[in-house]
Amino acid sequence: MTEAALSYSESDEQAILDTVSRWVEKEVKPHAAALEHDDIYPQAMVDQMRALGLFGATIAEEHGGLGLSASTYAKIVALISEEWMSLSGIFNSHLMMARIVERYGTDRQREYWLPRFVTGEIRGALALTEPNAGTDLQGIRTRADAHGDEFVINGTKTWISNGIEGGAVALLVKTDPEATPPRKGMSMFIAPKMDPDTGKPHAGFKTGRRLEKLGYKGIDSAELIFENYRLDAERHLVGGVPGQGFYMAVGGLELGRINVAARSVGIARRALKEATAYSQTRETFGKPICQHQAIQLKLGEMATRARAAELLTLDAARAYDAGERCDMEAGMAKYFASESAMENAAEAMRIHGGYGYSKEYAVERLYRDAPLMCIGEGTNEMQRIIIARQLVARNPV
């Protein structure tokens, strides 16, 4: 890794993208396919991403981060995802955890956690989903009971990205299981596996199975089990007051959705690139297949989808950066871009004929990675409902 760490001002955006692009070309491209097929955690790339500063990409400069705008960040995510989507997952959910501390934490919590997150010394994730509750987050059962200055946490989370390789999670729990509505009894903790000061492991935080998946390989998705896991409130209960956790979880979703939209743009663009190149080299009936109208129709639709997905994503990111309410825009971007990733991956596979089914071509990976984009950060069923609700709310009669 020879690239210098990133630094940032708006005018530097292109320089940052060039640096990331060079890193992807030199360090990711030659190894991504092999690591993905063998489902190996890309430790060397993680170390390089730490050196580049990506674990502090959206964290404010006053805490040591790069303080990137959502727009620049989305472009970086799309660029990396074009080569290997899993990599962006390693820092995306980490940055969502950091965002919760930055936005809702006490001053002491910001001072304590954010510098450790910026360097990637502690890398983490967002632990919301449980075996019985994903979309319906108010149905979670993990609970934290107050005992003096501490909380004792019991419960199980599942599907947690970075759950094994990461060192901490932003953990959504119930502190008042009887509250009505239930969301008022939910709280968020920063839950490390070991005490950062002493290095002593927390016995109550156990990692369960590494879950086997269709795609999104390399990155670990895990069950996490909490058994009498004790955390002091001052350092770990985000904001210092219980009852705010649900709002913190959904408050981070706009950026999370822009993020998934950007990953989807990467997949949709890569599928288009692969198909465009292959269709010029593969000949049938005496000419390259790009000269057959049936293939041209596919390429035309794929190019339009990829571009529209990119523009919707940048539109949502711009609104986010301007501090505007953007749940509708982020929902549209996430919904359209992820469906575009699915369709472009499938069409690229068709254009490759039998070779699209071979592990030797990138399109089979895109085909396996794309469906997750329709699930993460709120399923696409929910996105359409959110869009419709906002549409009505913004246009009252």
Ligand X SMILES: Cc1cc2nc3c(=O)[nH]c(=O)nc-3n(C[C@H](O)[C@H](O)[C@H](O)COP(=O)(O)OP(=O)(O)OC[C@H]3O[C@@H](n4cnc5c(N)ncnc54)[C@H](O)[C@@H]3O)c2cc1C
Question: Hey, which residues are catalytic here?
Answer: 377
Minimal distance, residue 105 CB to ligand X, in Å = 19
Q: Which is nearer to ligand X, 53 or 256 (CB)?
A: 256
Range 29-88, binding ligand X (CB under 6 A)? none
Q: Which is nearer to ligand X, 138 or 291 (CB)?
A: 138
Q: Which of 268, 372, 373, 386 binds ligand X (CB under 6 A)?
A: 372
CA distances in angstroms from 92 to 207, 256, 307, 343, 388, listed in the order given: 20, 8, 23, 24, 27
Per rule CB under 6 A, is residue 127 in the interface with ligand X?
A: yes
Range 218-277, binding ligand X (CB under 6 A)? 221
Q: What is the DSSP string of 279-348?
A: HHH-EETTEEGGGSHHHHHHHHHHHHHHHHHHHHHHHHHHHHHTT---HHHHHHHHHHHHHHHHHHHHHH
CA distances in angstroms from 31 to 41, 102, 120, 214, 361, listed in the order given: 12, 34, 22, 20, 14
> Which span (153-161, 278-286, 308-316, 362-370) binds ligand X, by CB under 6 A?
153-161
Per rule CB under 6 A, is residue 138 in the interface with ligand X?
A: no
Q: Does residue 5 contact residue 23 with C-beta atoms inside 8 Å?
A: no
Minimal distance, residue 170 CB to ligand X, in Å = 9
Q: Which of 86, 88, 93, 344 binds ligand X (CB under 6 A)?
A: 93
Residue 101 makes CB contacts below 8 A (sequence gap 6+) with: 109, 110, 113, 114, 117, 170, 190, 238
Q: Does residue 228 contact residue 143 with C-beta atoms inside 8 Å?
A: no
Per rule CB under 6 A, is residue 209 in the interface with ligand X?
A: no
> Which span (23-31, 143-151, 317-325, 376-384) binds ligand X, by CB under 6 A?
376-384
> Which span (1-9, 123-131, 235-243, 273-281) binds ligand X, by CB under 6 A?
123-131
Q: Which of 64, 67, 115, 134 binds ligand X (CB under 6 A)?
A: 134
- Alpha carbon dihedral 339, 341, 347, 348, in 10-degree steps, equals 180
Q: Which is nearer to ligand X, 221 or 340 (CB)?
A: 221
Q: How many residues sit in the footprint of ligand X (CB under 6 A)?
A: 21
Q: Which of 14, 43, 135, 280 binds ligand X (CB under 6 A)?
A: 135
Name which of 351, 347, 367 is nearest 359 in CA terms: 367
Q: Which is nearer to ligand X, 134 or 208 (CB)?
A: 134
Which residues contribute to the site for ligand X (CB under 6 A)? 93, 125-129, 134-136, 159-161, 213, 216, 221, 372, 375-376, 379, 381-382
